Amino acid sequence: MQTIIIPIQYELPTLLDAPRSDTAWVVTITLLTAAVTTPIAGRLGDMFGKRRIALAVLAIMVVGCVVAATSHDIVGMIIGRGLQGVGMGILPLGISIMRDVLPERRLGSGIALMSATMGIGGAIGLPLAAFAAEQWDYHALFWIAGAIGLLSLLLILAIVPVSVLRSLGRFDWVGAIGLAIGIVGILLALSSGGEWGWLSPPTLGVGLGGVAVLLLWGWYELRDRNPLVDLRVAARRPVLLANLSSLLLSFGLFSFNIGIPQFLENPVASQAGLGLSLMEASLGLLPFGFTILLVSPIAGRLMGVVGPKPLMVAGGVLVAIAYVVCLLWLHTLWSAMVVNVIAAAGIGAAFAAAPSAIMRAVPMTETAAANGINSLMRSVGTTLAAAMIGVVLSAITVQVGDVMVPSWDAFQLAFVLGLVAALASSLLAAFIPRHRPCPAGEHPSLPA
C-alpha cells in the first residue's frame, strides 16, 4: 500500500488537478491510518477473534482501493488511500493467527515470513506498480491492489480456522481514541514539518499536542482495568528493547528505500546518480524482495536453534554493512543490487525475529495487541525516516539544467543516518535478555 503510489506521486498534482501540498496527503494519510489501526486491530483481534478482525480490515482496504480506483479528484483519492492504510492491521493479526493454528515446528518459519512481508511487498510491488503505471491508466494500480486484497480475504475465509482463544474484558475506547489522537499528532508533525516549517506554530502545536495526549494516555492506561495496551507488559525488557530495535531498523530500512531509488534515478550530471528510468530503477530493487523471501524461512529455522536475539543483532549489523558499502562503492547498478542483497538479508533476519522475541514475553491472550505495538513502532520508524531523509535530500542539492537534485553530500548524510540507526538497533537487540517465562498465572506465547 505504501509503495504503489510512488510511480505516480510526482504526477499527482496534474492527475488530480490539485496543489502538491494537497497531493502529499495521498501518501501521508496511508501512513497515519496504518499507524493508528495496527495496535487497535491487534487488541480487537485478541478480544473478538483474529480471523474476524483480519477479514474486516481487508474488507475496508478493498473498499479503499475501489474508492481510489473510481476517484478523479483529490478528496476521493485521500479517502480511498486512508481506507487502504487500515489494511496494514493485517500484519499483527496474521502473526498471531499463525501462533494459534500452526504446529510448533512450522511456527518460526511462518512468523518469519509473515513479519518480513512489508519488505517483500515494497520491493516487489514497486516495479510492478511502475510497470502498471506505464502501461495503463493510474487507476489500474488500485484495481490490482483491490483484487489482491479480495483474493487474500477469500483465502482467509477458505483456509484459516476460527480460534476460540479470547482475551476477556471490554474494549478500551478511551484508550483507542487517545492513542489515535496522540499518534496522528506526532506523525503529522513529522510528515508535514518539512512543508510547514519545523519550528512553525502548526508543526509545534500538533507535535507537542500529540506528545501531551500520549502522556495522558499512558497515565490512563496504567489505571484502566482493561487497557488497550498493557503498558506494564510493554515495559518488560524484552518487549521494550525489541520494539525500540524495530523502530530504529525501520528507520534504517526506509532510509534505504528512499535513498537508493533516488540515487539510481538521479541524473549522471549531478555526479550522484545513475540516471536510470523509474522502471529500470525498480527492477534494480527486485533482489531486495527476493532475498527477504529466501532469508525469512531460514531465519525462522535458526530461531529454533539460537533464539531471536542473535538474529536481531546480526540483522542490524548486516544493514549497517550495506550502508558502508553504499558510502564506499555505490557507482553502478550492479553495486546497488549487491547492496540490496546485503540489506535485505539483514532486514529479513531482524524483522523475522522481532515478533518472536516479543511473543516469548507476553501472555497468549495479548499476542495480537503486542504485535500491533511492534507494527506501530515500525510505522513510526518509517515516518521518521521519510521526514528526515526527505529533508536531507531536498536541502543539500546541486543544479542540473533547470532542476535542483540531491548532491552526493546529501546521499552520504542519508546513508550515515541509516548506518547509525542500524547499529543502534543492533546494540539495543544485544541487551534483550534470554527467554524467561511470563509471571505466574500467564502463559507465554511461544515455547522456550
Residue 141 sits at the vertex; the CA angle it makes with 140 and 142, to the nearest 5 degrees, is 90
> By C-alpha distance, which of 119, 422, 133, 130 is closest to 287?
119
Q: Report pLDDT for 62.
A: 96
Q: Are residues 249 and 221 in the same domain?
A: no
Q: Report pLDDT for 443.
A: 45
pLDDT digits (tens, 9 = 90+) for 365-418: 666 667 777 877 887 888 788 778 878 888 888 988 887 888 999 999 999 999
d(CA 57, CA 172): 19
Q: Report pLDDT for 2.
A: 65
Lowest mean pLDDT among 191-200, 237-246, 334-343: 191-200
pLDDT higher at 176 or 245: 245
Domain interval for residue 120 = 6-171+228-430
- The verdict on residue 379 lying in a domain is yes
Q: Report pLDDT for 121.
A: 67
| Those residues with Cβ within 8 angstroms of residue 38's Cβ, 6 or more apart along the chain or in another chain | 88, 89, 91, 92, 372, 373, 375, 376, 379
* Torsion angles phi and psi, residue 400, rounded to 5: -125, 105
For residues 94 and 155, is the Cβ–Cβ distance under 8 A? no
Q: Report pLDDT for 305.
A: 83
**Mean pLDDT value of segment 190-216:** 88
Domain count within the chain: 2
Q: Are residues 334 and 298 in the same domain?
A: yes
Q: Report pLDDT for 3.
A: 66
pLDDT above 70 as % of the chain: 89
For residues 287 and 340, is the Cβ–Cβ distance under 8 A? yes
Q: Are residues 295 and 379 in the same domain?
A: yes
End position of a domain, from candidates 227, 246, 268: 227
- The verdict on residue 439 lying in a domain is no
- The verdict on residue 448 lying in a domain is no
Report the CATH number that the domain containing residue 277 is assigned in CATH.
1.20.1250.20
Q: Are residues 208 and 145 in the same domain?
A: no
Please state, in angstroms and as integers, the Cα–Cα distance from residue 58 to each residue in 54, 155, 228, following that order: 6, 11, 21
- The verdict on residue 380 lying in a domain is yes
Please state, in angstroms and as integers, the Cα–Cα distance from residue 328 to each residue in 110, 140, 323, 416, following that order: 36, 40, 9, 12
pLDDT digits (tens, 9 = 90+) for 214-258: 999 999 988 888 887 778 878 888 889 999 999 999 999 888 888
pLDDT digits (tens, 9 = 90+) for 254-313: 888 888 888 988 899 888 889 888 778 877 878 887 888 888 878 878 887 888 899 999
- The verdict on residue 311 lying in a domain is yes
For residues 172 and 226, is the Cβ–Cβ distance under 8 A? yes
Q: Are residues 141 and 214 in the same domain?
A: no
Q: Are residues 416 and 319 in the same domain?
A: yes
Q: Report pLDDT for 151.
A: 94
pLDDT digits (tens, 9 = 90+) for 102-151: 776 776 667 777 766 666 666 667 677 777 777 788 888 889 889 999 99
Q: Report pLDDT for 122.
A: 65
pLDDT-derived band at 448 (thresholds 50, 70, 90) equals: very low
pLDDT digits (tens, 9 = 90+) for 357-367: 887 777 766 66
Q: Cell numbers at residue 229, please?
A: 495496551
- The verdict on residue 361 lying in a domain is yes
- The verdict on residue 119 lying in a domain is yes
Q: Are residues 50 and 66 in the same domain?
A: yes
Lowest mean pLDDT among 47-51, 250-254, 441-445: 441-445
Q: Is the pLDDT of residue 440 over 60?
A: no
**Cβ neighbours around 146 below 10 Å, total:** 21
Q: Are residues 340 and 209 in the same domain?
A: no
d(CA 393, CA 293): 30
pLDDT above 90 as % of the chain: 29
**Mean pLDDT value of segment 307-322:** 94
Q: Are residues 395 and 368 in the same domain?
A: yes
Q: Report pLDDT for 31.
A: 79
Beta partners for residue 444, in sequence order = 363
Q: Report pLDDT for 120.
A: 66
Please state, in angstroms and as integers, the Cα–Cα distance from residue 61 to each residue in 143, 153, 362, 397, following that order: 12, 10, 29, 38
> By C-alpha distance, which of 299, 319, 318 is closest to 309?
299
Q: Are residues 154 and 251 in the same domain?
A: yes
pTM confidence score = 0.81
The mean pLDDT of the chain is 83
Q: Are residues 187 and 247 in the same domain?
A: no
- The verdict on residue 202 lying in a domain is yes
Q: Are residues 55 and 138 in the same domain?
A: yes
User: Which residue matches cell numbers 507494527?
Assistant: 375
pLDDT-derived band at 436 (thresholds 50, 70, 90) equals: low
